[in-house]
């Protein structure tokens, strides 16, 4: 079993590396599984048995990758309400540094937990997007992350070797995982849009948010906050990025949803309007006639033909 590396014996050890060992590992008992600390961060292969819970505030960025489908696991950050994790292998939870994390589990579970100090992740961020400041998006992943699961399995295999695991290899895996985090679970902060456009990560974050929430009432202030821009700056950057202003983009998302629902003739037009985010059947009809050049009933007739 690979135990915690004694970072004090390394010439490059600093306070951040010590924090990885003393803050993250202290909440995970030695009996839970093998672990290691490297130059880039720390990693633990953990097998929890039975049920339990813990609340902690990590001083590093902590990411857990579930190797088997999580059952009966509730997760929350800060003052958020507890939410049940998706029951899929590859589910990922991201806990940024200095935010309270609550975890409650009712069944055995198996995870690889990666811890990366803020300064170490910021160093990777500069190589990924020079001159920018990146902030991790906290919380669980919406979908299983196949690449994170693959890297976690490689880390598990190395930690589980009968002989001593290779620190250099583990450090490389943690570094690759850190870059994966930055590309898929972060947003640029305070970086002006390139040529009046949203930064790539901000655009992805806003697009994901709209895909999940288009059917409810949204405000420009809400969307601008996600992109970390002023309202006026956001409207211009969004339009330059997506080729249409935010309200038009949302209307088209709602119409796309309405057309999918209209393909099922068991769903009434009034229900379609409600489910796709329109205030009424007449509102749906009016917008659809203007933007798609037909009405809900005409759409259904064309689908039958």
**How many other C-beta atoms can be found within 10 angstroms of the C-beta atom of residue 219?**
10
CB of 113 closer than 8 Å to CB of 105:
no
Q: What is the pLDDT of residues 217-233, one digit of tens each?
A: 988 889 989 988 888 78
pLDDT value at 23 more than 60: no
Q: What is the pLDDT of residues 115-149, one digit of tens each?
A: 999 888 888 888 777 766 777 888 888 788 999 99
**Six token digits for residue 298:** 């005409």
Q: What is the pLDDT of residues 71-119, one digit of tens each?
A: 888 888 877 788 888 778 999 989 888 888 888 888 888 999 999 998 8
Query: Is residue 88 packed enough to be buried (19+ CB in 10 Å), middle (13-18) or exposed (0-12)?
Result: middle
Which pLDDT band holds residue 188 (cuts at 50, 70, 90)?
A: low
Radius of gyration of the chain (CA): 23
């Amino acid at each position: 079993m690979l135990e915690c590396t004694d970072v004090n014996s390394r010439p490059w050890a600093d306070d951040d590396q010590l924090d990885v060992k003393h803050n993250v590992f202290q909440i995970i008992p030695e009996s839970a599984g093998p672990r290691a600390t490297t130059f880039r961060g720390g990693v633990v292969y953990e097998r929890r048995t039975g049920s339990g819970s813990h609340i902690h505030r990590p001083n590093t960025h902590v990411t857990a990758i579930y190797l088997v489908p999580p059952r009966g696991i509730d997760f929350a950050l800060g003052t958020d309400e507890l939410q049940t994790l998706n029951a899929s292998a590859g589910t990922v939870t991201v806990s940024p540094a200095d935010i309270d994390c609550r975890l409650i589990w009712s069944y055995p579970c198996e995870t690889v937990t990666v811890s990366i100090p803020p300064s170490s992740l910021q160093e990777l961020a500069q190589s990924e997007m020079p001159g920018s400041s990146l902030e991790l998006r906290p919380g669980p992943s919406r979908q299983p992350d196949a690449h994170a699961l693959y890297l976690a399995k490689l880390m598990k295999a190395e930690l589980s070797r009968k002989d001593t695991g290779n620190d250099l290899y583990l450090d490389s895996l943690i570094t690759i995982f850190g870059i994966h985090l930055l590309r898929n679970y972060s947003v640029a902060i305070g970086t002006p849009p390139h040529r009046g456009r949203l930064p790539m990560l901000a655009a992805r974050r806003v697009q994901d948010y709209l895909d999940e929430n288009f059917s409810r009432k949204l405000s420009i202030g809400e969307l601008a906050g996600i992109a970390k821009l002023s309202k006026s700056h956001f409207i211009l950057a969004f339009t330059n990025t997506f080729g249409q202003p935010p309200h038009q983009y949302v209307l088209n998302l709602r119409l796309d949803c309405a057309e999918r629902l209209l393909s099922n003739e068991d769903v009434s037009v009034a229900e379609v309007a409600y489910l796709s985010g329109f205030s009424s059947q007449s509102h749906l009809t009016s917008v659809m006639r203007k933007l798609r050049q037909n009405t809900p009933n005409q759409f259904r007739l064309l689908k039958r033909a």
